[in-house]
Structure 1
Amino acid sequence: MILNFRDIVFLCLCGLLHIIYRNRRKPHLPLPPSLPRWPLVGNAFQIPRTYAHIFYQELGRKLGTKIMYLETFGKSIVVVNDAWIAKELLEKRSALYSSRPHITMLHDVIGATDHFAFMPYGDEWRNHRRLFQQHFSPKTLSRDEERILDFVRKGLLPNIYQDPRHVHDHVRSCVGGLSLSLTYGLPVLRNCDPLVRQSEETFTAAVAAAAPGKFLVSIVPMLKYIPEWVPGTTFKTIGRQIDEQLTLLKEGPYLNTLKNMDDGTAPVSFVSTSLERYQGTPDFENQALYIKQTALQIFGAASESSVAAAMTFILAMLIHPDIQRKAQQEVDSVVGMDRLPDFSDRPRLPYLSAIVKEVLRWNPIGPMGLPHMTTEEDVYEGYYIPKGCMVMSNTYAILHDEETFPNPKEFNPNRFIKDGILLDDILDPAVIATFGFGRRICPGAHTALSTLYLISASTLSLFDISPALDTEGKPIKVVPEFTAASVASKPLPFDCKLTPRQGKDVKDLLQEYLGTEVIL
């Protein structure tokens, strides 16, 4: 069919009207405050690849706003430095703000498309999250707390007692082993379990890859098409190695659990319980695949965040001995000298609860959280927010807001407690920001908080945390420093020593656990 001039004009007018309709609000509504943008690249080369959370906090101060807009190669980014704005957008308007952006390094280079924390909002994501919530929920927390007790008492505390200089290694072994046990029900070596060590290295690398600005390819996606042999494409080698390791971790422990189930020796775990729940259903094969994929996510997420929080606690106690002593006095008054802390003590330890809140506030374990993405355009307080926009809640800025937390860089648990009573009129990091917002909030937060509580209470009960000594016998001063990645933050390695407290018969309290080599 040949179009005449009038048809062409009519189609052009229709196209013009469509464009005007689609963009009808854009000319009338401003975007949130922003830095000047360069043509084509936008702000791509103004955004740092390390400590982005601090950059966005300072940028908000410079622009005089707590919501700001940036662009990278045509992609829209909104950063929120305020808890209430984040709640308004990510929770109250969660239907629009619950998807995830495409991260080139993670999704295309590594090929990690089956991790539900990074999945777009939709049915597949719901299937994975439902499996998680069916097994891990506040109603089943007492079941998992028994496992937490086992790993702290049989693993962490004996390891510290026998080798007090390598606390970080012991925390990683304890938390990683606990995560492996909860997920797969596999036996774990108390010291240097090879699977726990392999998983930590792999998940640390994968989390770094998920940081939007960590690798240039996530800012300039076209770089993914460059062959691996071209100089400057080491990100492709890194991606391939991470993919291979993730595949090994996804398959190996899962197959071992299946074998134990066949032998009738598999204890309760996420994998065994979930498979039994769907055994014999018409869609069992699909559910089994979802279970295998979700298991890897649980295994990795629990390890990374809980180690970061536990090491932040130890660092805080090291550099604040007065706070440490006060907390020990409270633990002693409740627990006494002849037993170990347990979960029944928790309600009677308000100062320790305040310390845990301050740990989460002082060094947020996810400084920028995981980015959300809008599935439709929106307007907030007169600002236009485009469809397909990456929306990031700056947890660090929220929890270091001077208006809410005066002197935010100071570690001060008294922010959360007065006259021995926890305050309920101040933003609680354990409830807001730390574990995300809206429909993408971390479903394992209650387990992570229980783990942090027991590690903190048990360590304070048995040990003094003090500076290591140099070759001249002088205390080594530790200045708090944290990793540069904005997806996960943990203290950089620091020296300290943990010694049995005077007046505590630590050996006797740990006697029944000291011979344990494998935790089941």
Structure 2
Amino acid sequence: MGPRAINKVIMLALTNVTALDLCLACVGVYLLKQVFNKKNPPYPPGPPGRPIIGNVLDVPYIRPWLTFTDWGNKYGDISHINVLGRHIVVVNSVKTAMDMLDNKSTIYSDRPTLPVGGELIGWKNVMVLLPYGDQLRRHCKNFHGVIGTRAAVAIYNQVVEVETHRFLMRLFAKPDQLQVHVRHTAGAVILRISHGYEVKENDDPFVDLADRVMAQWSHVTAPGAFLADVVPFLIKVPEWFPGADFKRLAREWHDDLEELVCAPHKFVVDQMAAGIAPESFTSNLLRSGSLAAEDEHIVKWSAAALYAGASDTVGPSLYISNNHLLRAAHFSQTVSTINAFFLAMTLFPDVQKKAQAEIDAVIGPDRLPSFADQDYLPYIGALVKETLRWHSVIPTGFAHCVSQDDIHDGYYIPKGSLIMTNIWFMMNDPKRYANPSQFNPERFLGKEPETDPRTICFGFGRRICPGIHLAEASVWLSAVMSLAVFDISKVVENGIEITPEVDPLSGTISHLKPFKCSIEPRSSRAVALIEQDVDY
């Protein structure tokens, strides 16, 4: 039988296919798929989905950690939803998180992709969104060598001490602008460390650039920000195509991001050429020798990840409303923790008095505390740990993505699933922390201290926060210096004492609702310490 005869037979067969035949074929394919799927164990339990839309309506946008906690109480340590074909697994226990993300980190260390923000704008190059692989390992090596250990971070102790002293000066001059001062200081510390750049008091171009770019980042990581994130092939349509305005926006924001990465880097290169570059993350990496183009690219983006860490959302946002993102766009994780410290001191004066008594006994009234005092102030160390536990800065963690199918605790975790860790519950679990709503540093002292929150709050596995030691150092020094010279208390308005709310806002990085507190120097001697000259 020749080719023409075969074609005639095929065409004749097709003309005899009825709608019923097509329906039966579809049913057959569906049944075969069901039989195939039965080879796999069940998904973890979770809210039952609806026809077609699955669990779209179950996705929590407001304080998702509370919904996740409810799921944990109902379904156990692992729960699951399916959102338009995307499997999301929520983990509510420290043990399960460590079993999955630490012990099986080779397959649980990937990140989800962002077609618009990652591909078009360029955020795919930043460390937090890099897929697991060689590029990520090279970034991690850069971070580890410069700020990956306490010894490495200690090189920058003077930077943190000088900028924290300047923070005291600003707070003394304008105590009603606490949040502004905390933010400014975090930016000053991070830019000095990342690029050796000393921030101007007002209208600093690099700080303004970071604010603008990170506000853009907040937008592009909001769920549903762009249809192309749901239908990725749309990123290939031309800019003039109806509905493709996002491509023009992406082009403009790509240029802003390039400036954020390249302008501070050029500042360092120029200073090194002039022989005046101070010690910094970037200068240390550049001094390691002549770099190929790819190596310099990694240096620039490694430094940008640190630099951008002085702004709010440094990881993929899955459960955040755009309104909350924009309201909190200019704060860092460190900023959130330091603000939580001031709120805790406002609400728990007995803790403040104990901390100040330790400082007075060890340091005395004639100097400010420094990092050299850290080992001699155990209560302050416990206070910082309790601040990290009491306010979960990253309450649902940054999403991990599993790179291959897995069976965990008898449940099927398909390739591409997002893994969300309910860190808020882990640090408020009454089985782990007695009376978790109470701010109690003493839980970390004595012969049987409770679980150190630092093993939880900075994430799990190979995607743990690389700046953990720098964050700890900044928070510790801000707390001890502030307590040494200031009394922090509730504001009195019209004769009425105002008790601020503990009201965390939704977000990948959760900030406390803005609050008022009274900040007064403890004595004339404290004023003299604040006003001492300070410089590098």
Smaller-chain TM-score bracket? 0.7 to 0.9
2:361 and 2:246 mapped to 1: Cα distance?
54
Code of the aligned partner of 1:407: N
1:396 and 1:58 mapped to 2: Cα distance?
12
Task: Assess if the C-alpha contact under 8 Å between 2:363 and 2:369 holds in 1.
Answer: yes
Correspondence 1:150 to 2:162: yes
CA RMSD of aligned residues (A): 3.2
1:246 and 1:216 mapped to 2: Cα distance?
18
CA 1:192–1:162 in 2, change beyond 3 Å: closer, same or farther?
Answer: farther
Deviation at 1:323, TM superposition (A): 1.3
Task: Assess if the C-alpha contact under 8 Å between 1:69 and 1:77 holds in 2.
Answer: yes
2:504 paired residue number = 482
1:254-309 superposed Cα distances (whole Å, 9 cap, x missing partner): 11111111111110111111111132x5xx22111111111111112255111111
Correspondence 1:112 to 2:120: no
1:272 and 1:23 mapped to 2: Cα distance?
59
2:452 paired residue number = 428
1:377 paired residue number = 405
Q: Secondary structure at the match of 1:469?
A: strand
Correspondence 1:42 to 2:54: yes
1:182-213 superposed Cα distances (whole Å, 9 cap, x missing partner): 000012224553422442453355256446x4
Unaligned runs of 5+ in 2: 10-27, 312-331
Q: Secondary structure at the match of 1:355?
A: helix
Deviation at 1:356, TM superposition (A): 1.1
CA 1:209–1:465 in 2, change beyond 3 Å: closer, same or farther?
Answer: farther
1:498 paired residue number = 519
1:263 paired residue number = 274
CA 1:20–1:262 in 2, change beyond 3 Å: closer, same or farther?
Answer: farther
Code of the aligned partner of 1:68: S
Code of the aligned partner of 1:441: I
1:289 and 1:259 mapped to 2: Cα distance?
17
CA 1:43–1:268 in 2, change beyond 3 Å: closer, same or farther?
Answer: same
2:103 and 2:40 mapped to 1: Cα distance?
25
Deviates more, 1:248-257 or 1:106-115: 106-115
1:162 and 1:511 mapped to 2: Cα distance?
10
Task: Assess if the C-alpha contact under 8 Å between 1:176 and 1:200 holds in 2.
Answer: no
Correspondence 1:286 to 2:294: yes
1:209 and 1:201 mapped to 2: Cα distance?
13
CA 1:263–1:203 in 2, change beyond 3 Å: closer, same or farther?
Answer: same
1:233-263 superposed Cα distances (whole Å, 9 cap, x missing partner): 9987876665444332212211111111111
* Aligned with residue 529 of structure 2, among 505, 509, 520: 509
Correspondence 1:135 to 2:143: no
Correspondence 1:82 to 2:93: yes
Code of the aligned partner of 1:427: T
Task: Assess if the C-alpha contact under 8 Å between 2:146 and 2:153 holds in 1.
Answer: no
CA 1:94–1:244 in 2, change beyond 3 Å: closer, same or farther?
Answer: same
2:188 paired residue number = 177
CA 1:189–1:452 in 2, change beyond 3 Å: closer, same or farther?
Answer: same
Code of the aligned partner of 1:36: P
CA 1:210–1:366 in 2, change beyond 3 Å: closer, same or farther?
Answer: farther
Deviation at 1:132, TM superposition (A): 1.6
Deviation at 1:351, TM superposition (A): 1.8
Deviates more, 1:130-139 or 1:202-211: 202-211
Q: Which has the larger radius of gyration?
A: 2
Deviation at 1:40, TM superposition (A): 3.7
Unaligned runs of 5+ in 1: 6-15
Task: Assess if the C-alpha contact under 8 Å between 1:171 and 1:310 holds in 2.
Answer: yes
* Aligned with residue 457 of structure 1, among 475, 480, 483: 480
1:396-437 superposed Cα distances (whole Å, 9 cap, x missing partner): 12112122123333322232224xx6x44x22111x221111
2:477 and 2:412 mapped to 1: Cα distance?
46
Q: Across the two proteins, how many residue pairs are aligned to each other?
A: 491
Task: Assess if the C-alpha contact under 8 Å between 1:483 and 1:492 holds in 2.
Answer: yes
2:252 and 2:398 mapped to 1: Cα distance?
23
1:396 and 1:115 mapped to 2: Cα distance?
26
1:409 paired residue number = 437
CA 1:181–1:28 in 2, change beyond 3 Å: closer, same or farther?
Answer: closer
Deviation at 1:47, TM superposition (A): 0.3
Deviation at 1:372, TM superposition (A): 0.8
1:73-123 superposed Cα distances (whole Å, 9 cap, x missing partner): 111111101111000000011111111112345324644111111111011
1:291-340 superposed Cα distances (whole Å, 9 cap, x missing partner): 11111111122551111111111111111112111111111111111110
Task: Assess if the C-alpha contact under 8 Å between 2:145 and 2:152 holds in 1.
Answer: no
**Within 5 A, what are the aligned runs for 1:196-215?**
196-200=207-211, 202-203=213-214, 205-207=216-218, 209-210=220-221, 213=223, 215=225
* Aligned with residue 252 of structure 1, among 254, 260, 263: 263
CA 1:452–1:218 in 2, change beyond 3 Å: closer, same or farther?
Answer: farther
Q: Secondary structure at the match of 2:268?
A: helix
2:346 and 2:227 mapped to 1: Cα distance?
39
Q: Secondary structure at the match of 1:433?
A: helix
Q: Secondary structure at the match of 2:288?
A: helix
Q: Secondary structure at the match of 2:56?
A: coil
* Aligned with residue 126 of structure 1, among 137, 145, 163: 137
* Aligned with residue 305 of structure 2, among 297, 300, 323: 297
1:223 and 1:397 mapped to 2: Cα distance?
38
1:452-480 superposed Cα distances (whole Å, 9 cap, x missing partner): 0000000000001122333x243332112
Code of the aligned partner of 1:183: S
1:176 and 1:27 mapped to 2: Cα distance?
53
Q: Secondary structure at the match of 2:479?
A: helix
